[in-house]
Amino acid sequence: MQNNKRLRITVILYLLVICVLARLIFTFPNQSYLNILNINDFYVTSCVVLIIVTLLIFFFVKGSAGKRLWITILSSIIIFAISITYFYSNLPQYTYEQATEKVADAEQNEGKSVQIQIPIHRVDKLGEGESKWFQMTDNTYYIYLKVDEKPLVFKFNPLDGKYEEVTGQRILEEYKVQ
């Protein structure tokens, strides 16, 4: 009875530590992308799957307490390894800085004079899109350039690198070239 209680406490502490560490692992690249990654989809799903698997192990696996603990540890490693591998292998191709350089280079290659204008506030750099389950991000970047002394705004998809000039008056009016 005492071993069972210790095992339960050990498993609960282990799960808490794993979930905290996993949160950090998912959060690490997010700052490079202006915090636009949908880390919660991956993190929460991994934790829920881990909890379900742990409950199944403790209710249906027969054997010693140590055996169940080791199966739980192995399961958590497999679950988070799959989730983290998928997450890191599908990160967007472009950070905000890389996107800005790509658009500026494309304009310069056309022989135009280009000045990059990076807004101070994060909100001015992002556009929101449709939220989809397990999509790395649903946001786009707004790239502000002064091309041949004319202010231009581009909407940039960080997932595939496609961009287009924004012609909406609202964005251009809010865009103040310094």
Cα–Cα distance for residue pair 136/7, rounded to 1 Å: 37
Output the pLDDT for position 163: 93
pTM: 0.80
Residue 167 confidence (pLDDT) above 70: yes
Cα–Cα distance for residue pair 140/157, rounded to 1 Å: 5
Cα–Cα distance for residue pair 6/8, rounded to 1 Å: 5
- Grouping H, G, I as helix, E, B as strand and the rest as coil, residue 139 is strand
Please write the tens of the pLDDT for every residue from 67-120.
888 898 999 999 999 999 999 999 999 999 999 999 999 988 888 888 888 888
Comparing 14-18, 48-52, 114-118, 167-171, the range with the smallest average pLDDT is 167-171
Residue 178 confidence (pLDDT) above 60: no
Please write the tens of the pLDDT for every residue from 25-46.
999 998 889 989 999 889 999 9
pLDDT (average), residues 8-20: 86
Between these two residues, 61 and 85, which has the higher pLDDT value? 85
Output the pLDDT for position 141: 92
